[in-house]
Structure formats: structure tokens, C-alpha cells
């Protein structure tokens, strides 16, 4: 292969999907490489491939096995598709990929929206204002979407805010809640159960089936959090309704 794909491995994921895994940690570089592979394979228009789902260090390739049925029965659909993908990847010259779109996401960090902000600040021995400043400083990358439609896993969270998930998950987390867990920050797209530490809330709607593009963000997009007041939050929320 022309590109540096050392550590690349493949395995079946049931009888209708193939899992491509790239070795190494699930950091920004690996996430970007997975997206580059997904973009390249998408351009190949492989027969029967229904969906490409990039994750932190894996790519799920969903396919119709009938499109890869061997009339002679010598190879399974998985084996045939795998060979085709491996052959295609020999033509991948580079794992470079342009950055995604940049979005500013308004977030209210007031007590009524950031239920865990004070306790997180106390745990980290930091003033609340500094936690907000640290959380808003980076330009995050959407590493992946998962767990629920529109839920974005954003990295890389500043080491000073890295914290394990809550010992006891909440049965209900409000839509738009901005939260942190481990080395990620994320946004709840709907009212959902969850065990992340809630630090604020955005009035933006991340998932809307009535729109031509239901997902507000995609893998690879970049996000910068912008603090807003409670009054501005209510104003933006009202304008959306």
C-alpha cells in the first residue's frame, strides 16, 4: 500500500458488515486517518456497499451479501468484498484529509444548565470560571457520532478536565446538554439517559428528521464553544421554536 496503513486489520461484523480497524490509540491522528480511508472507499463506489460508518479507530462497512455472492461457492461474500477493499487500498496514496467545517456552538454554563459544573470544578481544584475558560479554549473535532442519532464525541478534551463518567448515570439528561467524560466532551441531541458530567447546555438542535440534513454536525467537523448568558439562551431557544 502506498499510504502508511501499518496495523490495519479486518474482521467480519455479522454477515452483512465488515470491520476495518487501524492500530494505535484513538487520538486525533487515528480518527483523521479512518475518515480518510472512508472518504477514499466512498469514491470507489464498491458494489453492494450500503454504508460506511467511521468511528474512533474503526470503519464499519455495511454491505448487501447478495452483491458479493460467489456462484461457484468458493468464497464467501465477506471474503470477496475484503479482497476488493484490500486491492482498492493499494491505490490510496495518502491519508491526508482536509479539516471539516468549523461551527461556533453557543453554551450557557449557568447553574440551571450546568448541573455538574461546580462539582467538577471542586474535584479539579479549579475556579468555575477557569473550567469554563478551559472548556471553551480548544477547537474540537467531531471524532464520531454514536450512542444516539446526533450525539457527537468531541476531542481532545484538555487534560485538566479529564474525568471518569459519573458513578450513577442519570435516567434523563436534557436535550442540548454539553458534558464531559474521560477525554471527551459531547452534546446530548435529545432527552436521554446518560452518565457524563453536565457542564452547560446549548439551544441548538443537533438532530431533526424534518430537515434535509437531519444531523447538524458530521464526523470531522470542528466545533468551538462560545459562552452565552441564560437570557441569550432563552432568546435563541425561543427563536428555534
pLDDT in tens, 147-192: 899 999 999 999 999 999 999 999 999 999 999 999 999 999 999 9
Domain boundary among 46, 68, 89: 89
* Confidence band, pLDDT 50/70/90 cuts, at residue 3: low
Residues 54 and 115 in one domain: no
> Rounded CA gap, 113 and 54, in Å?
31
Q: Is 75 part of any domain?
A: yes
Domain boundary among 65, 89, 113: 89
Identify the pLDDT of residue 241: 64
Model pLDDT for residues 115-154, shown as the tens digit of each residue: 999 999 999 999 999 999 999 999 999 999 988 999 999 9
* Cross-strand pairs, 140: 223
Q: Is 20 left (phi over 0), alpha (psi -120 to 50) or beta?
A: beta
Worst-scoring range by mean pLDDT, 41-50, 66-75, 107-116, 184-193?
66-75
Q: Is 3 part of any domain?
A: no
Residues 28 and 107 in one domain: no
Identify the pLDDT of residue 181: 97
Identify the pLDDT of residue 100: 86
Q: In this prediction, what percent of the chain has a pLDDT beyond 90?
A: 73
Q: Is 95 part of any domain?
A: no
Residues 76 and 123 in one domain: no
Model pLDDT for residues 204-227, shown as the tens digit of each residue: 999 988 888 899 998 889 999 999
Higher pLDDT, 106 or 22: 106
- The whole-angstrom distance between residue 64's C-alpha and the CA centroid of its chain comes to 25
Residues 124 and 230 in one domain: yes
Residues 128 and 224 in one domain: yes
Residues 215 and 110 in one domain: yes
- The Cα-based distances of 27 to 164, 187, 196 in angstroms read 17, 19, 20
Length of the chain: 241
Identify the pLDDT of residue 27: 78
Overall domain count for the chain: 2
Amino acid at each position: 500500500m502506498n499510504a502508511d496503513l501499518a496495523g490495519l486489520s479486518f474482521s467480519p461484523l455479522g454477515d452483512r458488515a465488515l470491520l476495518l480497524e487501524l492500530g494505535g490509540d484513538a487520538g486525533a491522528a487515528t480518527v483523521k486517518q479512518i475518515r480518510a480511508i472512508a472518504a477514499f472507499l466512498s469514491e470507489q463506489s464498491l458494489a453492494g456497499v450500503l454504508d460506511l460508518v467511521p468511528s474512533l479507530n474503526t470503519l464499519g462497512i455495511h454491505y448487501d451479501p447478495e452483491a458479493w455472492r460467489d456462484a461457484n461457492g468458493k468464497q464467501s461474500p465477506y471474503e470477496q468484498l475484503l479482497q476488493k477493499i484490500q486491492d482498492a487500498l493499494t491505490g490510496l496514496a495518502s491519508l491526508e484529509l482536509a479539516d471539516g467545517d468549523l461551527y461556533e456552538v453557543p453554551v450557557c454554563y449557568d447553574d440551571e444548565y450546568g448541573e455538574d459544573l461546580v462539582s467538577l470544578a471542586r474535584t479539579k481544584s479549579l475556579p468555575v470560571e477557569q473550567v469554563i475558560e478551559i472548556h471553551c479554549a480548544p477547537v474540537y473535532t467531531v471524532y464520531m457520532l454514536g450512542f444516539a442519532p446526533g450525539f457527537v464525541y468531541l476531542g481532545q478534551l484538555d487534560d485538566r478536565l479529564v474525568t471518569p463518567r459519573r458513578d450513577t448515570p442519570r435516567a434523563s439528561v436534557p436535550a442540548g446538554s454539553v458534558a464531559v467524560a474521560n477525554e471527551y466532551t459531547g452534546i446530548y441531541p435529545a432527552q436521554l439517559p446518560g452518565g457524563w458530567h453536565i457542564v452547560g447546555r446549548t439551544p441548538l438542535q443537533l438532530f431533526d428528521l424534518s430537515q434535509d440534513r437531519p444531523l447538524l454536525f458530521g464526523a470531522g467537523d470542528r466545533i468551538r464553544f462560545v459562552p452565552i448568558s441564560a437570557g441569550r439562551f432563552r432568546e435563541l431557544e425561543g427563536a428555534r421554536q
